[in-house]
Structure 1
Amino acid sequence: MGIHSQPAGPGSTSHPVVPGAVGEEIRVRGLVQGVGFRPTVWRVAHEWGVIGDVRNDSDGVLIHAWGDAWTLQHFIDSLSAECPPLARIDAIERHQLNEAAEGSDFRIVPSVSGPVQTGVTPDAVICAECAAEIADPANRRYRYPFTNCTHCGPRLSIVRAIPYDRENTTMAEFSMCDACRAEYDDPADRRFHAQPVACPACGPRVWLESRDGARVAGDDPCRAASLLLQHGAIVALKGVGGFQLACDAGDEVAVARLRRLKRRERKPFALMARDLQALRRYCAPNEAECALLASAGGPILILRADGPECVAASVAPGVGTLGFMLPSTPLHRLLIESIDSALVVTSGNTSNEPPCIDNTDARARLGRIADVFLMHDRDIARRVDDSVMRVVQDDARMVRRARGYAPAPLLLPEGFADTPAVLAMGGELKNTFCIARDAQAIVSHHIGDLEDALTYADYRRAVAQYLRLFEHEPQLVALDFHPEYLSRKIGYDLAQSMQIPVVEVQHHHAHLAACMAENGVAFDAPPMLGVALDGLGYGVDGTLWGGEFMLADYRGYTRLGRFKPVAMPGGTRAIDEPWRNAYAQLRAAFDWHAFTRHYGGLDVQHFLKSRPRATLDTMIAQRVNSPLTSSAGRLFDAVAATLDVCRERVLYEGQAAIELEALVDPHTLRDDSDAHAYPFEITSVMPDGLRSIEPRPMWEALLDDLLRGTSVPVVAARFHKGLAIAIVRMVECLADLLTEPADARSVALSGGVFQNRVLFEQVVTRLELVGFRVLTHRQVPANDGGLSIGQAVVAAAQRSDAV
Structure 2
Amino acid sequence: MKTLNPSFKNNIAILALGAESAGNFSVFRDGRIFSSDDFGDLLEEKNWIKYQASVLKYLKNNKIKPQIILTDLHPLYKTTLWGEKLAKKSSARFVQVQHHHAHIFSAVGDKILHNTSYLLPPAFYCIAMDGTGFGVDEKIWGGEAFKVESRKNKVESVKRIGHLENQVMISGDLAVREPARMLIGVLSKLLSNKEIYPFIKKYYTKNQFELIYNQLGQNFNCLETSSTGRVLDAVSILLGFCGNERKYKHEPIDLLEKNSTLPYSDLKPKITISEDKYILDTTHLFNYVISAIGGSASGGKYPSSLDKHRIAATAQLYIANGFYKIIKLSCRPERSPYSDEVEGSTKYYNQPNYNADSSTSLRGVYPARSGAQNDIFIAGGIANNKIISDYLISKGAYANTKIPRGDAGLSFGQIICYLLGK
Aligned position for 1:503: 95
Q: CA deviation at 1:487?
A: 0.8
Query: In structure 2, what is the Cα distance between the partners aligned to 1:619 and 1:437?
Result: 50
Q: Does 1:568 align with 2:169?
A: yes
Amino acid of the residue matched to residue 692 of structure 1? I
C-alpha distance in 2, partners of 1:651/1:498?
40
Q: Say which of 16, 20, 24 aligns to 1:424.
A: 16
Deviations 1:573-595 (A, max 9, x none): 0000000011111113x1416x8
CA distance in 2, matches of 1:465, 1:788: 17
Q: Does 1:482 align with 2:71?
A: no
> Which residue matches 1:690?
277
In the other structure, the counterpart of 1:679 is 268
1:703 aligns with 2:290: yes
Give the Cα separation in 2 of the matches to 1:524 and 1:727: 21
Q: State the partner residue of 2:147.
A: 551
After superposition, the Cα gap between the structure-2 partners of 1:556 and 1:453, relative to the gap in structure 1 and judged at 3 Å, is farther
- What SS does structure 2 have at the residue aligned with 1:529? strand
| Structure 2 partner of 1:749 | 378
* 1:240-293 deviation per Cα after TM superposition (whole angstroms, max 9, x unaligned): xxxxxxxxxxxxxxxxxxxxxxxxxxxxxxxxxxxxxxxxxxxxxxxxxxxxxx
- Match for residue 788 of structure 1 among 398, 404, 411: 411
User: Could you tell me how far 1:502 is from its partner in structure 2?
Assistant: 0.8
Measured after TM superposition, the shift of residue 754 of structure 1 is 1.0
Instruction: State the 1:789 CA deviation.
Output: 0.8
Q: Distance in 2 between matches of 1:541 and 1:426?
A: 20
Q: 1:468 to 1:615 in 2, by over 3 A?
A: same
> What residue number does 2:62 align with?
470
Q: Helix, strand or coil for the counterpart of 2:215?
A: helix
Structure 2 contact 65–90 (Cα < 8 Å) conserved? no
Query: Is the 8 Å Cα contact of residues 548 and 563 (structure 1) preserved in structure 2?
Result: yes
Contact 2:13 2:29 in 1 (8 A): yes
Q: Distance in 1 between matches of 2:251 and 2:10?
A: 43
CA gap of 1:723–1:740, structure 2 versus 1, over 3 A, is: closer
| C-alpha displacement of 1:550 | 0.5
- For residue 737 of structure 1, report the CA deviation from its aligned partner: 3.8
SS at structure 2 position matched to 1:568: strand
Alignment correspondent of 2:329: 733
CA distance in 2, matches of 1:724, 1:776: 14
Structure 1 Cα separation of the partners of residues 374 and 331 of structure 2: 7
Counterpart position of 1:199 = none
In the TM superposition, what whole-angstrom CA distance separates every residue of 1:588-616 from its partner, at most 9, and x where no partner exists? 3x1416x82xx88x654776683634433
The answer to whether the 8 Å contact 2:123/2:366 transfers is no
What is the alpha-carbon distance in structure 1 between the residues aligned to residue 10 and residue 177 of structure 2?
Answer: 44
Alignment of 1:39-438 (within 5 A): 407-413=1-7, 416-418=8-10, 420-438=12-30
Query: What letter is aligned with 1:712?
Result: K
Instruction: Tell me, yes or no, if the aligned pair for 2:241 and 2:259 is still in contact at 8 Å.
Output: no
Q: 1:652 and 1:574 mapped to 2: Cα distance?
A: 14
The residue type paired with residue 84 of structure 2 is Y
> As a proportion of its length, which structure holds more helix?
2
Q: CA deviation at 1:524?
A: 5.9
- 1:592 pairs with 2:192: yes
Q: Aligned residue for 1:582?
A: 183
Q: 1:725 to 1:525 in 2, by over 3 A?
A: closer
CA contact (8 A) 2:169 2:175 kept: yes
| Distance change >3 Å, CA 570–CA 603, structure 1 → 2 | closer
Using the TM superposition, give the Cα deviation of residue 484 of structure 1 relative to its aligned residue in structure 2, in angstroms. Answer: 1.1
Residue pair 1:426, 1:433 contacting (<8 A) in 2 also: yes
CA contact (8 A) 1:571 1:626 kept: yes
Matched, 1:494 2:81: no
TM-score in terms of structure 2 length: 0.81
1:100 counterpart residue number:
none
Matches of 2:157 and 2:30 in 1, distance apart?
A: 22
Distance 1:787 1:453, change over 3 A: same
Whole-Å Cα distance in 2 between the matches of residues 611 and 561 of structure 1?
A: 38
**Structure 2 counterpart of 1:454:** 46
Cα displacement (A) at 1:624: 2.6
SS of the residue aligned with 1:640? Answer: helix
The SS at the match of 1:775 is strand
Where does residue 377 of structure 1 map in the other structure? none
- Does the CA contact (< 8 Å) of 2:121 and 2:373 recur in 1? no
- Relative distance call for 1:524 and 1:698 in structure 2 (3 A) is closer
Structure 1 residues 484 and 457, CA gap change in structure 2 (3 angstroms): same
SS at match of 1:664: coil
Write the letter of the residue equivalent to 2:188: R
Q: C-alpha distance in 1, partners of 2:127/2:216?
A: 28
Q: Using a 3 Å threshold, how does the CA distance of structure 1 residues 437 and 526 change in structure 2: closer, same or farther? A: farther
Write out aligned runs for 1:616-695 (5 A).
616-665=212-261, 668-669=262-263, 674-675=265-266, 678-684=267-273, 686=274, 688-695=275-282
RMSD: 2.5
Contact (CA 8 Å) 1:419, 1:797: kept in 2 or not? no
- SS where residue 185 of structure 2 aligns? helix
- Deviation string 1:708-761 (CA, Å, 9 cap, x unpaired) is 332321221222223222221112111224997899941000000111112211
Deviations along 1:386-423, one digit per CA (max 9) or x if unpaired, are: xxxxxxxxxxxxxxxxxxxxx2311125xx21252210
Deviation at 1:796, TM superposition (A): 3.1
Kindly state the Cα deviation for residue 644 of structure 1 after the two structures are TM-superposed: 1.8
Distance in 1 (CA, whole Å) between partners of 2:367 and 2:203 is 52
SS at match of 1:791: helix
Higher relative contact order (CA 8 A, sep 6+): 2
Going from structure 1 to structure 2, the CA distance change for 1:640 and 1:524 (only over 3 Å counts) comes to closer
Which letter maps to 2:288? Answer: A
Contact 2:121 2:374 in 1 (8 A): no
1:519 partner SS: helix
| CA distance in structure 2 between the partners assigned to 1:741 and 1:489 by the alignment | 43
CA positional deviation for 1:490:
1.2
User: Identity, % of aligned pairs?
Assistant: 24
Partner secondary structure for residue 560 of structure 1: strand
Contact 2:71 2:79 in 1 (8 A): yes
Shift of 1:617: 4.0
Which residue number corresponds to residue 345 of structure 2?
Answer: none
Aligned partners of 2:5, 2:414: CA distance in 1, in Å? 15
- Bigger Cα Rg: 1
Deviation, 1:466, is: 1.5
State the 1:557 CA deviation: 1.2
Q: What one-letter code is carried by the residue in structure 2 that aligns with 1:563?
A: L
The residue aligned with 2:390 is 761
Count residues in correspondence: 371
Cα 1:680–1:583 shift into 2, 3 Å: farther
Structure 2 unaligned residues grouped into runs of 5+: 295-303, 335-364
1:555 offset after TM fit, Å?
Answer: 5.4
> In structure 2, do the counterparts of structure 1 residues 471 and 655 end up closer, same or farther at CA, with 3 Å as the change threshold?
same
CA distance in structure 2 between the partners assigned to 1:700 and 1:524 by the alignment = 40
Counterpart in 1 of 2:343?
A: none
Alignment CA distance shift 1:497-1:633 (3 Å): same
1:721 partner amino acid: L
Which residue does the alignment assign to 1:720?
A: 316
Superposition deviation, residue 474 in structure 1:
1.2
Q: 1:560 to 1:744 in 2, by over 3 A?
A: farther
Taking the aligned partners of 1:726 and 1:782, their CA distance within structure 2 comes to 20
Alpha carbons 2:145, 2:323 under 8 Å: kept: no
- Matched residue SS, 1:652: coil
The answer to whether the 8 Å contact 1:425/1:788 transfers is yes
Task: Specify whether residues 441 and 634 from structure 1 end up closer, same or farther in structure 2 by C-alpha distance, changes over 3 A only.
Answer: same
The answer on whether the counterparts of 1:435 and 1:442 sit within 8 Å (CA) in structure 2 is yes
Q: Give TM-score, length-normalised by structure 1.
A: 0.44
Counterpart residue identity of residue 479, structure 1: T
Q: Verify the 8 A CA contact 1:417 1:437 in the aligned structure 2.
A: no
How far, CA to CA, are the matches of 1:471 and 1:524 in structure 2? Answer: 33
Is the Cα–Cα contact under 8 Å of residues 682 and 691 in structure 1 kept in the other structure?
yes
